[in-house]
Amino acid sequence: MTDAFVDFTDNAQIWIHGFANSLTDADRQFIEEKLNTFLPSWNSHGTPVRASFQIIENRFLVTVAECPGGISGCSVDSFFRVLKEIAGSSELNPLETDLVYFRDKDGKIQAQRHLDFFNTVESGAVTPDTHVFDTLLTNLSDFRQGRFERCFSESWHARSYPLPQSPATSY
């Protein structure tokens, strides 16, 4: 787990946004500037939202936040407006939700559209031990417990993208 989140409770909200391609240094700097400007002023019905973020492996923006009274929908919308600014001011799109992230046989993170990933699974390039990333996590506890990156066979991906069955042996 990252030091950026050590002071947050397990119940803190988490948002994980992936990028189709690996971020450049300029991309990282741009994202960091936007979030370092927004997060200190983020509030929910007048109460400051405590938040932090980290860019992981130049592919994922992980943001954690909590507020004593909870984070209102309007406050979450204000965070997503910043993400839309990032998408609109660059080639980056942290709001693209049609991507599945996994490590290829060389350990490199790949991003594929859902249908393409289904075809990759069907081709046999994904095994039960292939690592996949769950960008749908909603609380910090799941992230801390290692549910962000895990084996295909232990993730929701295995239910949504079943591995091809071995041909039955005929006698």
pLDDT at 125: 94
**In angstroms, how far apart are the furthest CA atoms of the chain?**
73
- pLDDT tier for residue 166 given thresholds of 50, 70 and 90: low
Could you tell me which residues are beta bridge partners of residue 99?
Answer: 113
Identify whether residues 63 and 32 lie together within a single domain: yes
Nearest to 62 by CA among 114, 9, 12: 12
pLDDT at 62: 97
Q: Domain of 46?
A: 9-88
Indicate the number of domains in the chain.
Answer: 2
Identify whether residues 77 and 119 lie together within a single domain: no
Mean pLDDT of 10-18: 96
Identify whether residues 15 and 83 lie together within a single domain: yes
pLDDT at 1: 46
In a domain, 114, yes or no: yes
* Higher per-residue confidence, 168 vs 133: 133
CA angle 156, 161, 165 (to 5 degrees): 120
In a domain, 165, yes or no: no
pLDDT at 118: 95
pLDDT tens profile 89-139: 777 888 888 999 999 999 999 999 999 999 999 999 999 999 999 999 999
